Amino acid sequence: MEEPSPLEATAEVSIAITGFISIFPVLAARDGRLLPVAAFTIRMIVPCSFGPVFYALLPLILGSFGLVGVALWRSTSMTIGIAALAIVVYMARQLQFLEPGEGRKLNHGFVLGVVASISCFANAAG
């Protein structure tokens, strides 16, 4: 495993912030009135936008505590798996704000979140 590059992590942070900020002009143009599905989607974009920032910086942060190699990889994978699972649980709890049946349109997000969590836990296990 290669050591994380601060330059790559900084680039990831820049891309995530740019993507997040691009949402605001869309919201401003709609007078703040959104359909429930659109509001749900925007609530999910926030953690999903800043998640990659967290994921990119995590190896650098854990590496500063002296973790290297396999220990760094496993610690990072476990932390990311827990964070991904927390986002899935948060998304599931937010479904109560949608009309019945609208949540079915969003099932692929849940499946991807669970698969990402399982993958990270498998990496952490070795």
Averaged pLDDT for residues 29-49: 71
Supply the pLDDT for residue 35.
Answer: 72
Query: pLDDT value at position 98?
Result: 74
Please state the pTM of the whole predicted model: 0.65
Query: Residue 122: pLDDT above 80?
Result: yes
What pLDDT, on a 0 to 100 scale, did the predictor assign at position 1? 54
User: Of the segments 2-6, 29-33, 38-42, 64-68, which one has the largest average pLDDT value?
Assistant: 64-68
**pLDDT at residue 92, as a whole number:** 81
Q: Please spell the DSSP secondary structure of the chain, one letter per residue.
A: -PPPPHHHHHHHHHHHHHHHHTHHHHHHHTTT---HHHHHHHHHHHHHHHHHHHHHHHHHHHHTTT--HHHHHHHHHHHHHHHHHHHHHHHHHHGGGSPTTGGGGGHHHHHHHHHHHHHHHHHHH-
**Interval 7-20 mean pLDDT:** 72
Region 34-49: what's the mean pLDDT?
73
Predicted pLDDT of residue 25: 66
Q: Which has more pLDDT, 43 or 115?
A: 115
